Amino acid sequence: MNSLITKIKEQESPPKVIKNLFSENEIKEFLKLYHDLPITVHNKKQNVIKKRWLQGFNKNLEKIFNERLEKEIGSFKMDNLKDDEGRDILGLIQESYAPIGLHVDGGFELKNQIYKQTLIPLSSVGSTVIFKNRYYEGSTNFTQDPIELGKKDLKYGQNKRSDIHLKMYGNKSFDKKIHQKYLQHEDINNLKGLEVELIYKWEVGSMLIFDRTHLHCSSSVIEGKKIGIATFTKK
């Protein structure tokens, strides 16, 4: 496991935003794709609709996305779970009416060498907070909520719950101004020891790329709803 973490660390780099990567027509194609895909999950508690980006719905978009991502990060493999026929899912499209909490997308197979993840905004109002802090285990929601922490019977593709982050990064109080402006949905005590690396303000046509080891969450800045595509890669 230590050798795998070393390999993961060797591929790490600061988050970056690629502006004007997708044209207005390509964004329209992504929105049509979202409309055409079947609903995977409608989580009423989180107020989010999730759709898997299944292969074959728009092969031209698949080609465009893969070519442009490879130009930015080099060779990669998808790591987005599988569809019902065992084929790679290309990503996850989410329509959110409420912000998503603190988590890490480390995957569900610990032997994988996780690499980069991406976010493509399909709506203009929203932002994503990337923290400097990193975590080298599987996909995890970080919380102090005892009800959430008690959830052990998780289905395929669901993040485990943990408060281990509160023991890992020290007791320094989180920045109150940033909390007030961007993270009001999070208990400030759940953010102890965390430092912000980047606050990405959504721009339609751009793409955010960052390491899958970064803790991150949505900001509380939202108007009605927001739609974005998340993808996850491995080496």
How many CA atoms does the CB half-sphere of 122 hold within 13 Å? 22
DSSP state, residue 166: G
Q: How far is residue 127's CA from residue 203's CA, in Å, rounded to a whole number?
A: 9
**CA proximity to 142, closest of 105, 195, 174, 110:** 105
Indicate whether 84 pLDDT > 90.
no
Taking CA 211 as the corner, what is the angle to CA 205 and CA 214, rounded to the nearest 5 degrees? 110
CATH number for 110: 2.60.120.590
What is the average pLDDT across 182-201?
97
Indicate whether 143 pLDDT > 90.
yes
- The pLDDT assigned to 45 comes to 60
- The pLDDT assigned to 46 comes to 61
Indicate whether 44 pLDDT > 70.
no
Phi, psi of 6 (to 5 degrees): -60, -45
More confident residue, 124 or 141: 141
Q: Do residues 31 and 124 touch, judged by C-beta distance below 8 A?
A: no
CA 66 to chain centre: 18
- What residue type is assigned to position 114 of the chain? I
- Domain extent at residue 58: 2-234
Tell me which of 21-25, 35-39, 221-225 is least confident. Answer: 221-225
Q: How far is residue 87's CA from residue 80's CA, in Å, rounded to a whole number?
A: 10
Which of the four pLDDT bands, split at 50, 70 and 90, describes residue 42? low
**CA proximity to 106, closest of 137, 141, 142:** 137
Output the average pLDDT for the chain: 92
Domain count for the chain = 1
Q: Name residues whose C-beta falls within 8 Å of residue 60's C-beta, 6 or more positions apart in sequence.
A: 29
The pTM is what? Answer: 0.93
Digit-coded pLDDT (tens) for 85-114: 888 889 999 998 889 999 999 998 889 999
Residue 178 region by backbone torsions, left for phi larger than 0, else alpha for psi between -120 and 50, else beta: alpha
- The pLDDT assigned to 43 comes to 65
